[in-house]
Chain A
Amino acid sequence: MIKKSILILFILGIIINNSCRKDKAESDHATPYILKIPKGFPQPVIPAENPLTVEGIQLGRMLYYDPILSSNGKSCSTCHKNDRSYSTPLFTTKTGEKISVPPHVNLAWNPTYNWDGSESTLEHLCLGDFGPDFFNTNMSDLVYKLTNHPQYPHFFNVAFNVIDISQLTYDELQLKIVYAISQFIRTMISSESKLDKVMKHEANFTPEEWDGFQTFETERGDCFHCHGHPLLTSNTFNNNGLDTVHEGRNLGRYLVTKSHHDVGKFSAPTLRNIELTAPYMHDGRFKTLEEVVEFYNSGVHWNSPNIDPLMTKPAKEYGLKLTPTQKTNLVKFLKTLTDTSFINNSAFKSPF
């Protein structure tokens, strides 16, 4: 009788355990990570299916720096270098097109990714890296390398409850990888530049920087409409008058929407750490900040199709007409957007 009772209670325990289990998400066992949102920043864009966890971020940081994902020795960090605000001078595609690589800074707030906004999530952006232009990943090799790695099986397990990496389909494995890397990238927040400190009354501009700030923040330069604080990007698509004829990647947002109203429009980039992310514009045509300022000062193609109305101010149609001193001071101000605490943050550097 006692044996029978124990058996019934044992079976009951299993039933209870299973019946209550359905409420649990797959990653419930991982430790939730609360992203510290700087004062004045909006809520970041974090997809519900990929919440931040301590273990996911840790795995993502390892994978970000590890060439294990590629068949050519590349890792994310090959093109996203720490001392360049996790950017790189210029990327050349297999077809020879030059692309300025956007920095990995404050991407948790981006509604779209790439210069033409072709990707709507960070996860989708990262998925593209397995292709021939970047990692050229051999998936069966990758499964072998990860499965036999001394650490990764454990980290996939604690981050995503993956008991056996080799049991995942290639798509499932890629998804876990981009989830982890996306989680890590979303923690890469810059909010401590000199401009941030001035706004918080913790620092003061030099007279030259202050003059540059006035150019930036008033109608004199009118930079703020597309690059306002705190994100220093409006996250909108604009044609700033670089060209009059658009072909190939220069078609910009048109390549996504197929609307001729979007020809020549590109995502306004953040100016955070802009000093470190040369060359500039989507195709890297300007090597220095001085060249960029001179473009806005005198080189805008006013007759470019779909040029942003903000670029056509009366009497400034062809540029801002700044004095040499104002141009110099504007560059000095732009250098106050450099966030050394972000660059020096060990949490973003290689764990190896």
Chain B
Amino acid sequence: MFVLVCACIILCISCKKEKQPDIAPTPDVQGIELSVSYKVDADIFMTNHFMYKTQAGYDYSITKMVYYLSQISLIKADSSLYLLKDYHYVDAVTSQTNQLTLKNIHAGNYIGLKFNIGLDSLHNVSDTLPATAENINMKWPVMMGGGYHFLKLEGYYKDTSGSYGYNIHLGTNSCLTPVKLYKSITISTNTKTPVSIVMNINEWFRNPHVFDFNVDGSYIMGNAAAMKKIAENGIDVFSF
């Protein structure tokens, strides 16, 4: 009998480490599911197709669009900000980077969303971001000012003489593009609030500046005047 009791005790103790820990309730269900999508005026976003037209009248296609969002914040009723995330890398063609789950957000009513397209000056310093496969390909060379590309929008455009490549690359602190979007957002306890924003890519090429590839430049990295125009046009590329 004694042996059997010992056996039971040994059995219980020996396999104790396999027991699953008690699962505590997680607050993860409370937050925001931020999703980013794209359009070009009334057209859907597709890469590699000459199906769009800039305000300046050029037919164009898109081969790549990658960028950073930074200082993603909710706007409170008193206009103060509630920071959700420091920065986020987005590749327009990969669905996972266009879905951002922001957890543990204080429940309450907010009046909008604020963020930058590009990296704020604290993060836009060479080799500051963790060396991920994405971040190392966004480096902005030190001898051109350092930091990271804010945006790479690439493709081809056509004029009367033929088809040419374009490279809309933004970087350097002066080209940070602030975005403010107003809409009532209610974060409630124990639910995840979906928030969707849409980028209209054509807005990069108009308002306030009609951007002309042949006049302003089709390869703008290091072209301060052209980058400034694009950055200023970027303020209203996003909407809810």
Contact = CB atoms under 8 A, between A and B. Distances in A.
Interface of A: 4-5, 8-9, 12, 15-16, 19-20, 23, 40-43, 109, 111, 214, 217-219, 224, 228-231, 234-236, 261, 307-314, 317
Interface stretch (B24-32, B33-41, B112-120, B126-134): B126-134
Given A9-B3, A42-B131, A217-B141, A310 B167 contact: yes
B42 interface: no
A310 B169 CA distance: 11
Interface in B135-179: 135-137, 139, 141-144, 154-156, 164-167
Contacts of B57: none
A40 B164 contact: no
A23 B7 CA distance: 22
B143 A20 contact: no
B132 to A, nearest CB: 5
A217 B18 contact: no
Contacts, number: 89
Nearest to B154: A309
Interface majority SS (helix, strand, loop, mixed), chain B: mixed
Given A42-B131, A235-B133, A309 B4 contact: no
A218 B141 contact: yes
Contact of B165 (A19, A236, A311): A311
Contact of B14 (A5, A9, A20): A20
Interface residues of B, number: 38
Contact of A23 (B18, B130, B156): B18
Contacts of B18: 20, 23
Contacts of B218: 314
A261 B48 contact: yes
B154 A310 contact: yes
Contact of B15 (A8, A16, A236, A310): A16
23 contacts: A8-B7, A12-B7, A15-B11, A16-B14, A16-B15, A20-B18, A42-B131, A42-B136, A214-B143, A217-B143, A218-B144, A218-B222, A219-B144, A219-B222, A224-B139, A224-B141, A228-B137, A230-B136, A307-B165, A309-B156, A310-B167, A313-B165, A314-B219
